[in-house]
Each structure stands twice: as structure tokens, then as C-alpha cells.
């Protein structure tokens, strides 16, 4: 299960790196800030998975900064266990469609 969360965390870094190219200074998080958040999230998961997921889901849990946030989903079931949008927690990520 921990491996599943790592995949989600790596996605955070990828999104941050992609948006960083178009970012104005200060408006978006940097790649270094994304890596730091990812490292903190991994440490939290290793210490206490349930408490970490609760922090990831809270607006004031310390894992949201501008356009950077942590989300977690199970790679086998696709179910989000942490997301910036509370309506998506418990939703199968494989059913989400991009808008045309």
C-alpha cells in the first residue's frame, strides 16, 4: 500500500515541474519546493499512514502550498485516499475524464 502512495507523490513532483516552466515567480511552487513537500509526505507516511492521510486531506494540514498539494490513490483500485478536492476522496481515479 505504501508503494501506491509513493506513485501519487511522484505525480506531485511531475505536475510541479511541468507548471514551473510557465510560472511567474511566487505565484506557483517551484520544483525544489515540490521535492521538499514530497520528502515530507513520504516521511509522514512512514511514521503513521493514517495520520498522514488525514493531514493530506486537511486544508491546514501543511501539505498545500499554492499549486502544490499531495494526493494519493491506490494503483490497483484507483481509489483516491487523499486529494485537495474532498469530493474526490473515495472516487475511482480511472473514471475521471478530461474535458475536451
Write the pLDDT tens digit of every residue in 39-51: 999 999 999 999 9
- The Cα 91–Cα 35 span in angstroms is 26
pLDDT band at 96 (very low <50, low <70, confident <90, very high): confident
For 62-92, the pLDDT digits (tens) are 999 999 999 999 999 999 999 999 999 999 9
Nearest to 34 by CA among 14, 54, 52: 14
Q: Is the dihedral of CA 79, 5, 71, 47 positive or negative?
A: positive
Residue whose C-alpha cell is 515530507: 40
pTM as predicted:
0.68
pLDDT at residue 23 is higher than 90: no
Amino acid at each position: 500500500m505504501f508503494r501506491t502512495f509513493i506513485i501519487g507523490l511522484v505525480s506531485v513532483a511531475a505536475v510541479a515541474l511541468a507548471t514551473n516552466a510557465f510560472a511567474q515567480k511566487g505565484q506557483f511552487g517551484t520544483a525544489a519546493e515540490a521535492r521538499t513537500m514530497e520528502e515530507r509526505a513520504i516521511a509522514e507516511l512512514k511514521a503513521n499512514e493514517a495520520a498522514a492521510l488525514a493531514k493530506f486531506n486537511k486544508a491546514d494540514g501543511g501539505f498545500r502550498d499554492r499549486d502544490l498539494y499531495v494526493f494519493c490513490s491506490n494503483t490497483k483500485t484507483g481509489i483516491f485516499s487523499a486529494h485537495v478536492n474532498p469530493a474526490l476522496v473515495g472516487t475511482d481515479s480511472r473514471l475521471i475524464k478530461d474535458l475536451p
